[in-house]
Amino acid sequence: MTAQKLLENAMAVRLRYKRRYVIMLHEVSFASFNGRDQVQGWIYVPACKPKGIVQVIHGFGEHSRRYLHMISAFLDAGYIVAADDHVGHGKTAMVNDVWGDWGDKGPHTMMEDEHALKAIVCEKYPDLPYFLFGHSMGSFITRDFIAKYGDELTGATICGTTGIFRGAKEVGEKLKEVLEDGHGEESNPEFAGELMGWMCERCGEISIGNEWICADPYVQRDHAEDPFDAFTRPTSNRSIYDFIQMMEQIEGTKWAEKVPIDLPIYNIAGDQDPVGEYGVGVYQVSNWLIQTGHTVTTKLYSGYRHEIHNYAEIKNEVEAGIIAFMDGILS
């Protein structure tokens, strides 16, 4: 049996996790919505009766193993955890040998891939409450997901999100012309720089360029040097355009009206996160939901930047808050 076949058959292996559980780990591989790539994913199963399932959706330029501390906490709380690496990211990029390009099927590609992973998980572990956790771009994917498939979920946590992303419309207009001229598969770093280059504006001295994610220099260096991260790799013009289009799909009450009215939502972020415009964009999303009759709980962590789950002094608190949100729905 080939290695690829083993992946397709979701080979299950057992390993001892860093906490008290022996867990079962399924490695899965499935066809992306883009029709080109095989998405690589994992299903972590605690050695106890599971109370539910959490699907962790990572952000732009990173990969799902950056969430192992959170995954461990969810396992300890009795949840099965599913996660994958998006197209153009992490192990999916390594296996397909395609970094920074998400394919040509448009801004819903990653959302549809997350729905495909959910189907795999539910086939193995049916009839369990199902939650999403999405961070940063993962929060955008989560918001896209709940607008189309929200009736399949028990609850959703969005972390490090925003309402209107600063400068996205202007960069998108420029990229549209570039794509129309046939340069979509090329990569011009000026577009990514224009879209995100301002995000260190409150960070003081800049040495790497990712200081906006977290004030901890060890987290910054880990993010920049991780071989599974796409932080230092170019992103294709069409993928930056799709990223902007993804954000435009989830703006305003027009988006919020598509979300099931009875789906509980937990919206969390740091109030020094530039993505969320230092809290303004976070509340913008919550207000869209509240204006359309939804139940949403919003929490800002004062003094913290984008990756609140990677600050040593509060990550346990952040994880406990998410677990309390989910447990509260189930109780």
Q: From first to last of its 331 residues, what are the pLDDT tens digits of the chain? A: 444 444 334 334 444 444 445 579 999 999 999 999 999 999 999 999 999 999 999 999 999 999 999 999 999 999 999 999 999 999 999 999 999 999 999 999 999 999 999 999 999 999 999 999 999 999 999 999 999 999 999 999 999 999 999 999 999 999 999 999 999 999 999 999 999 999 999 999 999 999 999 999 999 999 999 999 987 789 999 999 999 999 999 999 999 999 999 999 999 999 999 999 999 999 999 999 999 999 999 999 999 999 999 999 999 999 999 999 999 999 9
Please count the structural domains in the chain.
1
The count of other CB atoms within 10 Å of the CB of residue 246 is 22
Paired with 131 in beta bridges are 54, 155
| pLDDT value, residue 48 | 93
Query: Could you list the residue range(s) of the whole structural domain that residue 93 is in?
Result: 3-165+244-330
* Among 41, 86, 43, 90, residue whose Cα is nearest residue 227: 90
Question: Is 210 among the domain residues?
Answer: no
Residue 253, amino acid? T
Given this model, what pLDDT does residue 17 score? 44
Nearest alpha carbon to residue 69 among 322, 319, 323: 319
Task: Give the C-alpha separation, 179 to 320, whole Å.
Answer: 44
- Mapped onto helix, strand or coil, the DSSP state of residue 80 is strand
Supply the pLDDT for residue 4.
Answer: 43
The domain spanning residue 89 has which CATH number? 3.40.50.1820
**What pLDDT does 2 receive?**
47
Residue 299 lies in a domain: yes
Crossing angle (nearest 10°) for helices 109-124 and 137-149: 70
- In a domain? residue 42: yes
pLDDT recorded at residue 231: 77
For residue 57, tell me if it sits in a domain: yes
Tell me which residue has tokens 């080939």.
2
CB count in 10 Å sphere of residue 158:
31
**Residue 303 within a domain:** yes
Q: Which residues contact 207 (CB under 8 A, 6 or more apart)?
A: none
Q: What is the pLDDT of residue 15?
A: 43
What does the alpha-carbon distance between residue 290 and residue 309 come to, in Å, rounded to a whole number? 25
pTM of the model: 0.94
Instruction: Answer yes or no: is 230 within a domain.
Output: no
Q: Is 249 helix (H, G, I), strand (E, B) or coil?
A: coil
∠ CA 226-196-146 to the nearest 5 degrees?
85
